[in-house]
A and B are shown apart, each in its own frame.
Chain A
Amino acid sequence: MKIFLWGNALLILSFLIHLVIWKIRVPQRQTKTLFTLFGMLLFLEIPLIDIVSDHFPALAEYRLDNLMEYAHVSLYYLCLSLMYIVFYGALEVDSPSLVMVLRVAKEGVQGLPISEFYESMNDDLLVKPRVENLVRDKQAIFENGKYKISEKGRSFISIFIFYRKLLNAGKGG
């Protein structure tokens, strides 16, 4: 119960701080900021839990007793934070499949004409922003009118290429 309580308390605190920052101003590099924020609270976990359980007698019975319990709270907090940061990716960038399903649903029983649908899904909407993001995130460089993969991009994509080979799967996309 202690792990559950402290792990969730830390998660709620991180989420609230994240919401407050986002309401003031959405950061330019959103995922990076989330990693920093959730990471900072992971570092502050031990003193935070000790201070709170010392100052609130009602929480004394939930005081963590040994290093393994702190480690378990850290693991719980770390994994659920990672899950949120991964989920946040779907908030930051529109998923084409979800946009498609919503567009079709919006038309209701009369349906969406296929030709109209294909016309609205063009390169400027679906490809250009992602290419620009690659340059912004330094995963590709743009020089002399050409896009080239950067060292950062090469290491990032190598993991996916390795895993796709392991699965014996194609290029994807």
Chain B
Amino acid sequence: MSTNLTQLLIPIFAMVVNVLVHILGYRYLLRGALLKSLLVGFASGFLMITFCESYLFLHGDAGLWETFPLLLVNQAIYFSLWYCYFNFVNMGETARRVRLMRELIEQTEGLTYDELLQKYNAQEMVKRRIGRLLSKSQIIEKDGRFYSGKPTVLFIAKVVIFMKLFVLGKKSEYE
């Protein structure tokens, strides 16, 4: 089985399924649970690809050794698109740049730095992030101190630091 238009469209179609499931899931089923709704969306698209490729395999004349690499390629394309979508949604939720611009767009005459800080500042930013980390048990609060919790975000942070060192040769933008 060589590539044809159907094979090309499968990951795009799965992405559409993912977006629809995510929006509907977030609005009506998992209200407020952003990560869960994103993961449910991802799973729906992933299942869609697997279903489509299985259908083509069962109803076509291609062998497993031809179908399997195409399945992997389409899953990689879908995962990449989903990762971009995940970051786009996440940016709307957490990015400082986006939040600052939302404050600026609401004020046609503009804002001084102090006025901007009244609307959005480090304290609010930290409070929101601590809230998210505590609710996901990534850090634990006990006797006026923070302790490490589940290792997921810490693992991601270590991977990011490793890549920063590898590509940029430094650990932080402030170095």
Interface residues, chain A, with chain B CB atoms under 8 Å away: 1, 3-4, 7, 19, 22-23, 26, 65-66, 68-69, 71-72, 75-76, 79-80, 82-83, 86-102, 104-105, 107-115, 117-118, 121-123, 125-131, 133-134, 139-140, 143, 145-149, 153-154, 156-157, 160-161, 163-164, 166-169, 171-173
Contact = CB atoms under 8 A, between A and B. Distances in A.
Name the interface size band of chain B: 35 or more
Interface of B: 2-5, 7-8, 11, 23, 26-27, 34, 69-70, 72-73, 76-77, 79-81, 83-84, 87-89, 91-102, 104-105, 108-113, 116-117, 120-126, 128-130, 132-133, 138-139, 141-148, 153-154, 156-158, 160-161, 163-164, 167-169, 172-174
Contacts of B138: 101
Given A75-B8, A147-B112, A157-B98, A112 B173 contact: no
A100 B133 contact: yes
Nearest to A97: B129
Contact of B101 (A86, A93, A125, A134): A134
Nearest to B138: A101
Ranked 9 nearest A-B pairs via Cβ: A173-B99, A111-B145, A146-B110, A148-B110, A79-B80, A83-B80, A98-B157, A149-B104, A126-B122
